[in-house]
Amino acid sequence: MEERTVPTPELLSAYETVPGMYLVLSDELIILTASDAYLKARGVNRDDIRGQFLFDVFPPDPSIPYALGFAGALQEVLSTGKAHQMPLLRQELPDPGNKTHIRPRYWDISHTPFLDEEGEVQYIVQHSFDVTDLVQAKKGVELREKELWASEKHLGFLLNAMPQQVWTATAEGVINYVNQICCFDFGKNPEELKALGWESFVHPEDLPGCLKAWKTALEAQMEYMVEFRLLMWDGQYRWFLGKAIPIMENGKLRLWMGTNTNIDLQKTNEQKKDEFLSIASHELKTPLTTMKAFNQLMKRTTDPDKLQGFIEKSAINISRLEKLINDLLDVTRINAGKMSYTMKEFDFGQMLQESVESVQYISPNHKLILNEKEKVLYIGDRFRIEQVLNNFLTNAVKYSPGGGKVLIKSEVKLNNIIVSVQDFGIGIASNDLQRLFERYYRVDNSALRFEGLGLGLFISSEILKGHQGSFWLESKPGEGSTFYFRLPLSASSTINPIAEKHLFYKDDSITISYNEEHHRLDVDWTGFQSFDSVQRGGMLLLKMLKENQCNKILNDNRNVLGTWSEASEWAGEVWFPMIEKAGLKYFAWIYSPSVFSQLSAKKSVDIAIGNVVTQFFTDISIAEDWLNNK
């Protein structure tokens, strides 16, 4: 048998004392020796392992695939005669400081064969390098990077959840982040916004001041704050309060964190308040000045007839002043939620007759004609209802300065008292109709043509709401206006629906039927609508849409009377998202003849949240064709 070459005793002794972890194996994988460092790391003695088969002393880890473990590595070395580098290896080894504890160690292991003259492997030297500290350091870096990424992701989530525009900029002032609110408000994606720059969205009149304030903040590294108008996605400028603070790190400016808060409503209210105060001072001053003049005349005259006339005219101005003050007090009560009502039964027709006669007495240039007077007993606050009626009548007189007639009509319709007041005066433009009942607003208010604070209609609307009533009007510029108000004769009515499972439903305010041929819901709203009736009908639609699994609705409002403006926000912000989630995609809306009802419909769609495709129509056949083609 051919004699094998093995390392000399001197060489083996050198391996035992050399720094580093070495294990010397024969070509049959018998342990010849090991370095002191190897024995210490493994927690074994040299005499216990010398002469033993490697895998009897250190059995292979079954969790490590053969090709990646010691057996596979040594098999490759023996078959190829070439050195082999193992993948990074993790082993559980005794802690040198406490052998009862096991701790993970990471090794970079190589096997180097030593060959004879014929190229046969004679012995193998395994070198293990402990890289535990390096691996743990790398893992620490990766963990910190992961935590940083998670932190940045969490921060991004928080910034996107904020209801304000949020942005960051570099130390030099270049925008490098915008949240989703910015993208929504401006109608651009983040890259487009950063490329365009914030300056392109600022109103030209506000830009110089903004640039100056931003430059000062950058140079001084101090807080930036400015009010400016920004161009929104819809082409409208809105007021914002911009603020940014410098973020310092180790005394060095790292970045700027900024927010833009929408203050357009506050600005608008400030303008309305200033305008209102201007009008109020003018209106309050007029009767006071007149009273002062008459008082001076009364001091100078001794004529009893003239004196009586001056007293009467002073009394008229005192009444005017009293009404202005009462209006202000009513608005204060409404804002504080302290408007109270004394509900008693009274003769509505008698109250109507007396109100018309009272206004006729002080309006000699107009002829107030009470065409119809419904005889009905009504339970409500007579004083407040009379206040509403007087406001409607005096408005009709006020806005027809050329004189003429005013027509008043009262009727009971669908268990509601309906009162209409028609004048033939200046009329109201369509864009003023929706704003007419807003606080501090009045038609042609810039010219101060007519007396009064413009609070009467706002107060009237709140009184009617307190009686579960509503108001609306029809008007054409130059032809006049007809003001309506509605008062229900009973606070609630019994609903007696006709229903056929999920295919058909009908009550006094709505009819819903499933159109099997076109796989849609056909809806017919009828009569006067309130918040409750709109909400009830909307939820019925939601239920039947789900049950029939359709995605189209034909919404017919041609039989709607009056207005349902108090429910328009609910329809847009609550109902549309719910019914879209239920499957609605296409909504054909056929207008009511009532302008106020049309305005309510437009408002609902304008503020609607979601992606339902809504189209308005005046002709039902055109609406059906549109839906059928979807």
Selected residue with higher pLDDT from 252 and 320: 252
- Looking at the predicted structure, is the pLDDT value of residue 513 above 60? yes
pLDDT of 447 > 60? The answer is no
Give whole-number Cα distances, 561 to 313, 323, 618, in Å.
44, 33, 16
The answer on pLDDT for 448 being more than 70 is: no
Segment 506-517 shows an average pLDDT of: 93
pLDDT at 1 over 60: no
DSSP assignment of 12-74: HHHHHHSSSEEEEEETT-BEEEE-HHHHHHHT--HHHHTTSBHHHHS---TTS-GGGSHHHHH
Q: Is the pLDDT of residue 439 over 60?
A: no
pLDDT of the residue at 279: 60
**CB atoms near residue 434 (< 10 Å):** 15
Return the SS3 of 507: coil
Region 48-74 average pLDDT: 87
Average pLDDT over residues 246-262: 89
Identify the helix (H) or strand (E) that includes residue 412.
strand 404-413
Q: Which fold has domain 270-335?
A: Helix Hairpins (1.10.287)
Structure tokens at 563: 């207005």
Q: Which residues contact 630 (CB under 8 A, 6 or more apart)?
A: 552, 585, 586, 613
Mean pLDDT within 549-578: 90
Please calculate the CA angle 556-557-560 and round it to the nearest 5 degrees.
Answer: 145
Please say if the pLDDT value at position 272 is more than 90. Answer: no
Residue ranges covered by each domain of the chain? 9-130, 162-262, 270-335, 344-488, 498-628
3-state secondary structure of 136: helix
Instruction: Give yes or no for residue 244 having a pLDDT over 60.
Output: yes
**Residue 185 in this model has a pLDDT that exceeds 80:** yes
Q: What is the pLDDT of residue 158?
A: 66
The reported pLDDT for the residue numbered 443 is 41
Confidence (pLDDT) at 298: 83
- 409 vs 331 pLDDT, higher one: 409
Using the predicted structure, report yes or no on whether residue 440 has a pLDDT greater than 60: no
Percent of the chain at pLDDT exceeding 70 = 86
Q: Which residue has the higher pLDDT, 104 or 113?
A: 113
The reply to whether domains 9-130 and 162-262 share a CATH topology is: yes
CATH of 9-130, one of 3.40.50.1860, 3.90.950.20, 1.10.1030.10, 3.30.450.20: 3.30.450.20
Portion of the chain with pLDDT greater than 90, in percent: 35
pLDDT tens-place string over residues 453-503: 457 777 888 889 889 898 888 888 888 999 999 999 976 666 778 877 789
pLDDT of residue 437: 44
| Crossing angle for the helix pair 348-361 and 382-398, to the nearest 10 degrees | 40
pLDDT, tens digit, for every residue of 282-306? 667 667 777 787 788 888 888 888 8
Please report the pLDDT score of residue 441 as a whole number: 37
Lowest-confidence segment of 47-61, 422-436, 574-588 by average pLDDT: 422-436
Span 117-144, average pLDDT: 78
pTM value surpassing 0.75:
no
The fold adopted by the segment(s) 162-262 is Beta-Lactamase (3.30.450)
Listed range (13-17, 73-77, 109-113, 153-157) with the worst mean pLDDT? 153-157
The residue assigned the tokens 């018998």 is 30
Question: What's the confidence (pLDDT) of residue 583?
Answer: 93
pLDDT of residue 67: 79
The four Cα atoms 476, 488, 331, 438 give a dihedral, to 10 degrees, of -30
- Per-residue pLDDT band at 60 (split at 50, 70, 90): confident
Q: Which two tokens stand for residue 187?
A: 């109608």
User: Within 10 A of 367 (CB to CB), how many other CB atoms are there?
Assistant: 12
Per CATH, the architecture of 344-488 is what? Answer: 2-Layer Sandwich (3.30)
Q: What is the pLDDT of residue 139?
A: 67
Average pLDDT, the chain: 83
The CATH code belonging to domain 498-628 is 3.40.50.10600
Q: Does position 451 have pLDDT exceeding 60, yes or no?
A: no
Q: What is the pLDDT of residue 601?
A: 85
Q: How confident is residue 514, by pLDDT bands cut at 50, 70 and 90?
A: very high
